[in-house]
Structure 1
Amino acid sequence: MSEFQIETSVERVSDYVWRGHLHRGWRIGRVPNGGYVLAIGARALSEALPHPHPQVINAFYLSPTVLGPIYCHVETLRSSKRTTHAVVKMLQEDEVKVQITAAYVDVNNVIGPSWTDLAPVEIPPWDECEDAGNTQLEFRQRVDIRLTSSGRVLKGSDPSGNARFDGWLAHKDGTDPDILSLIMFADALPPPPFNVFGLAGWVPTVELTVQVRGIPCPGPIRGTLATHAVTEGLLEEDGYYWDSRGKLVALSRQTARVRVK
């Protein structure tokens, strides 16, 4: 099993409760990465529900999580032949830390028309992109991030003024991505406001929504994350993610706040 699979694993402790564990290696500062936390809740749903794959999953982060056990209380709202809707409350020390709402399907059975005006973002190959830096950031022990020139601000350059990061994402241990990896990768690129305000700040997540559009092929994930408006500290981050063959596999929207020192 990969590090990601092991460190997002859950075990059933009662009819409606699954226990996970927040491990070292995934923190941004002192707090576990929100996408990693959401992936644990998503895995609990995969095990609890009759349908295995998240089609869309949303999390509100009510309070920072910490390392250690976390309990996922699952409630099914409605289940039909094609879709199951459910909610999860993720608790530590009897406090709800994260509230999740999701719709689950079997992506192998999803059929319907397809159309897009989105093309994979044009970026250099993996080997020609720059390591994202921040090697002292604990999260980088688990996720390999390669950025285009948009990432130079992370190495001391001035902000570009374009609130956007483009690059590649992969598991540090070389494991190929799966559907739950997409949920974690949707919160892995640096916050786009860094390219406006610089690194002298903090961008905590209020809410994160991820739509899954397919099972990724082996190889790194190509991603782009952009912010178009910051209003009195409140901002959105829109993400698009393609697999190594150029297939759109996930979209994300995150609500966050930027706090400049």
Structure 2
Amino acid sequence: MHLFDRDISLIAQEPLRFAGTITDNWSVNGNPDGGYIMAMLGNAILQKSEKKKLVILTANFISRSCQGQAWLAIERIGSSRQFERWEARLQQDGKEMVRAFGTCTDDEVPRENRYEKRPPTLAPLSDCMALPEIPRYTIFRHMDVRLDPGCAGWMSGKLTDRSEQKGWIKFRDDRSYDQLSILLLADAFPPPVLASQGVIAWVPTLEMTVNIRTIPTTKWLKCIFRSHFINGGFVEEDGELWDEKGELVAISRQISQFQKQ
């Protein structure tokens, strides 16, 4: 079993209630990565949904989760011929930490593809900068992230006027992709604002949505994450994940607080 699968595994306690353990293997500044938490919630939904394609998951991060025991409860809140909609909650020490809403389908009807944007243009892998292991950022021990040189200057104090991160990503252990791993991948790059603002104290996510379009089969994914507006103490981050064949894998959006050091 791959580490990621072990770390999102759940034990059924009641028909719609599960126990899990949040590990320290997917941490950002010592805190569980939001995409990792979403993968646990998505796993709970898929345990019970009759429709097995999770296509949308939106999570509201109410309080900061921590390493240790967690309880997950799910409820089906709607169903139609094409879709099931679920609510999922994660609690620790009797306190609700995250609430999520998921949409599942089993629709296999071929659909039209029409893209009005192209995949990001990236430097070759050999020219990109591999993110090193960073204390308290354990996610980079397990994710192989290669930043395009054009947005990696912040690591040496060279900032740009674009809040953008783009590059390549895969699991270091070459785990294959599925719906749950895509939730993690959508939150595995450094925040785009680092490219323009430098290393800041904290950009805690308040809400995140991932829309999964297809499951990739290529080894690497090409990703781009962009922020346009820092105001009112908030910043948005819009993400795109593409496979090496030029197919869109997922889009994401998260809203975070912006706190400068």
Same fold? TM cut 0.5:
yes
Are the equivalent residues in 2 in contact too, given 1:16–1:73 (CA < 8 A)?
A: yes
**Which stretch shifts more, 159-168 or 170-179?**
170-179
Amino acid at match of 1:118: K
What aligned pairs does 1:126-205 form with structure 2 within 5 A after superposition?
A: 126-133=125-132, 135-136=134-135, 137-205=137-205
CA distance in 2, matches of 1:3, 1:176: 12
Are the equivalent residues in 2 in contact too, given 1:150–1:164 (CA < 8 A)?
A: no
Q: Could you list the runs of 5+ residues in structure 2 that have no partner in the other structure?
A: none
1:33 corresponding residue in structure 2: 33
CA distance in 2, matches of 1:27, 1:89: 20
Cα deviations by residue, 1:51-86 (Å, 9 ceiling, x for unpaired): 112111100000010111211110001123321001
What aligned pairs does 1:196-235 form with structure 2 within 5 A after superposition?
A: 196-235=196-235
CA distance in 2, matches of 1:110, 1:213: 13
RMSD (CA atoms):
1.5
Q: Could you list the runs of 5+ residues in structure 1 that have no partner in the other structure?
A: none
Are the equivalent residues in 2 in contact too, given 1:177–1:219 (CA < 8 A)?
A: no
1:121 corresponding residue in structure 2: 120
Are the equivalent residues in 2 in contact too, given 1:132–1:151 (CA < 8 A)?
A: no
Runs of 4+ in 1 over 6 A off after TM superposition: none
Cα deviations by residue, 1:97-140 (Å, 9 ceiling, x for unpaired): 00001111126x14433211121111023233111235332111
Q: Classify 1:9/1:127 alpha carbon distance in 2 versus 1 (closer, same or farther; 3 Å).
A: farther
CA distance in 1, matches of 2:3, 2:212: 22
TM-score, normalised relative to structure 2? 0.95
Are the equivalent residues in 1 in contact too, given 2:159–2:197 (CA < 8 A)?
A: yes
Question: CA shift at 1:152, angstroms?
Answer: 2.5
CA distance in 2, matches of 1:126, 1:139: 20
Are the equivalent residues in 2 in contact too, given 1:57–1:102 (CA < 8 A)?
A: yes
Are the equivalent residues in 2 in contact too, given 1:21–1:68 (CA < 8 A)?
A: yes
Are the equivalent residues in 1 in contact too, given 2:151–2:160 (CA < 8 A)?
A: no
Are the equivalent residues in 1 in contact too, given 2:154–2:196 (CA < 8 A)?
A: no
Question: CA shift at 1:151, angstroms?
Answer: 4.0
TM-score, normalised relative to structure 1? 0.95
Amino acid at match of 1:237: E
CA distance in 1, matches of 2:2, 2:246: 24
Amino acid at match of 1:240: E
Q: 2:53 aligned with 1:50, yes or no?
A: no
Q: 2:238 aligned with 1:238, yes or no?
A: yes
Question: CA shift at 1:8, angstroms?
Answer: 1.1
Cα deviations by residue, 1:148-191 (Å, 9 ceiling, x for unpaired): 01442342232112100110111121212222111111111111
What aligned pairs does 1:59-74 form with structure 2 within 5 A after superposition?
A: 59-74=59-74
Aligned residues: 260
